[in-house]
Amino acid sequence: MNLGLMAKVAGLELGAQADGINVTGFAIDNRKVAPGTVFGAFPGSQVNGEDFIPAAIAAGAVAVVARPQAVVEGALHIASDEPRRLFAHLAAPFFEPMPDVVVAVTGTNGKTSCVEMVRQLWHVAGFSAASIGTLGVTTAQESVSTGLTTPDIVTFLSNLHGLAREGVSHVAYEASSHGLSQFRNEGPRVVAGAFTNLSRDHLDYHATMEAYFAAKMRLFDEVVGDGGTAVIWADDAWSEAAIGHARARGLKLMTVGGKGETIRLLSRTPTQLGQVLELECEGAVRKVTLPLIGAYQAANALVAAGLVIASGGDGARTLDALGRLAPVRGRLERAAINRAGAPVYVDYAHTPDAIEAAIAALRPHVGGRLITVLGAGGDRDSGKRGPMGAAACAGSDMVIVTDDNPRGEDAGLIRAAVMAGCTIASDVREVAGRRAAIAAAVSAAGAGDIVLVAGKGHEQGQIVGRGEAMRVLPFDDVQVARECVGELT
Ligand SMILES: CC(=O)N[C@H]1[C@@H](OP(=O)(O)OP(=O)(O)OC[C@H]2O[C@@H](n3ccc(=O)[nH]c3=O)[C@H](O)[C@@H]2O)O[C@H](CO)[C@@H](O)[C@@H]1O[C@H](C)C(=O)N[C@@H](C)C(=O)N[C@H](CCC(=O)O)C(=O)O
Ligand SMILES: Nc1ncnc2c1ncn2[C@@H]1O[C@H](COP(=O)(O)OP(=O)(O)OP(=O)(O)O)[C@@H](O)[C@H]1O
Ligand SMILES: N[C@H](CCC[C@H](N)C(=O)O)C(=O)O
Ligand SMILES: [Mg+2]
């Protein structure tokens, strides 16, 4: 494809030189450059991509998108103070066609759940749909992991293109704050964006909560297309601020939740296997039986319904379809039941707020004690560890502090930081090794008790070490819980 033409489609002026250049692909890693590639050279958190410009040109790069001060010899230098943004906009036309209907979800917790629910609701409505996020690229047929919540820009755009070629017309993707701030998900026309909530996470990457929120709000400020819709969970402390961003941008506004105007949650009644939601929408009140437990899953279901309606879905039919939602992998997934009859739930809660939400979801179902197993990730926001311990202790009768992806840190020190927050409950134990911790919880649980194993959800490995020494040791909370139950019978 001609570079000048692509630039024109993207609304960029590159000059006559670009017209003579034929582009065969895009790459942000010099090791993926082939002859005819446009290379994006970005300063990163580990290394400076500009150092790889000579290697990229030697491998055949025909143009390099980089800051003005970068040295580019032997290829066209497309200079910008925001090279990641320019690279994304230049690359997008190359990956057309993309699916017709694209929506995005941001927020600290609930992104994966929402995009997966949107995908299911579209499927029920008869569309060929996919979701892109922490669980990978998921269609009705399969789920392929990308390793990140928001993949890098080249993977993201080529995934969208590949999905369109397979006939997928509808895509919901997760916009993480890292992804938004690194322009990893620009390109498709986004018809609607959603905000779920904001609470402490990733303060190793973002300087303050305000900066973290601002990164997320780029979804409404810039990523959703003109005339698009903002779907906002109305009951969060940050909802008003999010509404402000959507209004300032002139987006259509849909609010959902107890304070929601578009879909109002009038009441929520937990049942054994789910909950009955009383909803007011388009002037009518209806009852929907959601086959999932917990206030947080109800919240995500309503945000998902909002996105489906925002992108053309019928209101009544969409709300009725909530009754057909299947569980999302690793989100309050019932993994096993021990010999005493105590269920073991696996949940991806890895922030203080999420632990509180997961515990609140299970509480109405606990006859005896709630036993929570948790750890905190290494090389991630260390300030959330104590608050995670505190949240677990505040809501549980027994807490077992263990390991969760120590990465390059000392697992014992991470456990100690979580333990330091455990000042409330008296029954708190520290158990090194996640399998031993899950086994301890399973053997402690008696009739009427519930075990919550928090933090890893769908994850398939325990990440230990950093850089060259990094290893992913196979580990699946669901499977381990089943094995522990089996070992005890
Ligand atoms: C902190 C962070 O976000 N890092 C991500 C980011 O890396 P970076 O741009 O800082 O890259 P870098 O390693 O310093 O390299 C700079 C540039 O040089 C290039 N390079 C590097 C080496 C080389 O030999 N040749 C070369 O060209 C790299 O491709 C890159 O463009 O961009 C890379 C490519 O897209 C990601 O793989 C990498 O994710 C790392 C592995 C990571 O752990 N990310 C986590 C924190 C993350 O992104 N999480 C979010 C949020 C999770 C959530 O809450 O949902 C996510 O979206 O997954
Ligand atoms: N709406 C919500 N409010 C509070 N907590 C939630 C909500 N949705 C999910 N959670 C909690 O957060 C956990 C992760 O949910 P989910 O994977 O959907 O979020 P995410 O935003 O995709 O997370 P990540 O940032 O890791 O990609 C759940 O297992 C649950 O404990
Ligand atoms: N997307 C999240 C996943 C955290 C999951 C938890 N198991 C951990 O390793 O902290 C992150 O990268 O912070
Ligand atoms: Mg996610």
Cα four-point dihedral sign 468, 474, 478, 482: negative
380 lines ligand 3 (CB under 6 A): yes
Which are the contacts of 449, defined by CB distance < 8 A and separation ≥ 6? 340, 342, 366, 367, 368, 369, 370, 371
Supply the pLDDT for residue 147.
84
Angstrom distance (rounded) from CA 136 to CA 173: 10
Dihedral angle at the C-alpha atoms of 194, 197, 198, 200, nearest 10 degrees?
Answer: -130
pTM equals 0.95
CA distances in angstroms from 397 to 438, 449, 456, listed in the order given: 16, 10, 21
456 is in an annotated binding site: no
112 is in an annotated binding site: yes
The secondary structure of residue 379, as a DSSP letter, is T
- What is the identity of the amino acid at 137? V
CA angle (262, 266, 270) in 5-degree steps: 125
pLDDT, tens digit, 9 for 90 and up, residues 285-320: 999 999 999 999 999 999 999 999 999 999 999 999
Beta strand residue intervals within 107-223, DSSP E: 129-133, 136-139, 143-144, 170-174, 190-195
Dihedral, CA of residue 349, residue 185, residue 299 and residue 116, to nearest 10:
-80
DSSP state, residue 247: H
What would the 3-class secondary structure string for 281-322 be? ECCEEEEEEECCCCHHHHHHHHHHHHHHHHCCCCHHHHHHHH
Can you tell me the mean pLDDT for 96-104? 98
Count of other CB atoms within 10 angstroms of residue 244? 12
Nearest ligand 3 atom to alpha carbon 202? 13
Q: Is the pLDDT confidence value at 144 over 60?
A: yes
Place of tokens 């690229």: 137
> Which band of pLDDT confidence, cut at 50, 70 and 90, is reported for residue 203?
confident
Mean pLDDT of 231-251: 98
Strands 76-79 and 63-66: parallel
Which pLDDT value is given to residue 15?
86
Ligand 2 pocket test target in 108, 109, 351 with most atoms within 8 Å of CB:
109
Could you report the per-residue pLDDT of 157-167, keeping only the tens digit for each?
999 999 999 99
Task: State mean pLDDT over 191-215.
Answer: 93
Instruction: Tell me how far apart the alpha carbons of residues 150 and 131 are, in angstroms, rounded to a whole number.
Output: 11
**Is 108 annotated as contributing to ligand binding?**
yes
How far, in Å, CA of 427 to CA of 112, rounded? Answer: 33
Domains of the chain, residue spans? 3-94, 97-324, 333-488
- Atom nearest to 174 CA in ligand 2: 22
421 annotated as belonging to a binding site for a ligand: no
Within its chain, how far is the Cα of 315 from the centroid? 26
* Residue with token string 């601020």: 241
Which of 40-54, 201-215, 410-424 bottoms out in mean pLDDT, i.e. has the lowest? Answer: 201-215
Write the CATH number of the domain with boundaries 97-324: 3.40.1190.10
- Whether the predicted pLDDT of 489 surpasses 70: no
Average pLDDT, the chain: 96
Q: 247 labelled as ligand-binding?
A: no
Phi, psi of 138 (to 5 degrees): -115, 130
pLDDT at 307: 98
Q: Assess contact for 358 and 451: CB atoms under 8 A.
A: no
Which residues line the pocket of ligand 2, CB cutoff 6 A?
A: 107, 109-113, 134, 149, 174, 176, 196-197, 296, 299-300, 331, 347-349, 353-354, 357-358, 457
Average pLDDT over residues 406-431: 94
Is the distance from the beta carbon of residue 199 to the nearest atom of ligand 1 less than 6 Å?
A: no
pLDDT at 30: 98
CATH superfamily of 333-488: Mur ligase, C-terminal domain (3.90.190.20)
350 lines ligand 3 (CB under 6 A): yes
Which CATH fold would you assign to the domain 3-94?
A: 3.40.1390
CA 317 to centroid of ligand 3, rounded, Å: 35
User: Is a pLDDT exceeding 70 seen at residue 425?
Assistant: no
378 CA from centroid of ligand 1 (Å): 16
Residues above pLDDT 70, as percent of the chain = 99
pLDDT band at 10; cut points 50, 70, 90: confident
275 contacts 293 by C-beta, under 8 angstroms: yes
Phi then psi for residue 119, to 5 deg, are -60, -45
pLDDT band at 488 (very low <50, low <70, confident <90, very high): low
Torsion angles phi and psi, residue 386, rounded to 5: -60, -50
278, 284, 335, 331: which is closest to 302 by C-alpha? 278
Please give the single-letter amino acid code of residue 205.
Answer: Y
User: What is the percent of the chain where pLDDT is above 90?
Assistant: 92
The length of the chain, given as a count of residues: 489
The tokens of 250 are what? 């002139």
pLDDT band at residue 205, thresholds of 50, 70 and 90? confident
Please name the residue whose Cα sits nearest to atom 33 of ligand 1. 152
| Distance from Cα 360 to the centre of ligand 2, integer Å | 13
Ligand 3, atom 11, residue with closest C-alpha: 380
1 or 159: which leads in pLDDT? 159
Residue 185 pLDDT greater than 70, yes or no = yes
184 annotated as belonging to a binding site for a ligand: yes
Cα 117 to averaged position of ligand 4 atoms, centre (Å):
13
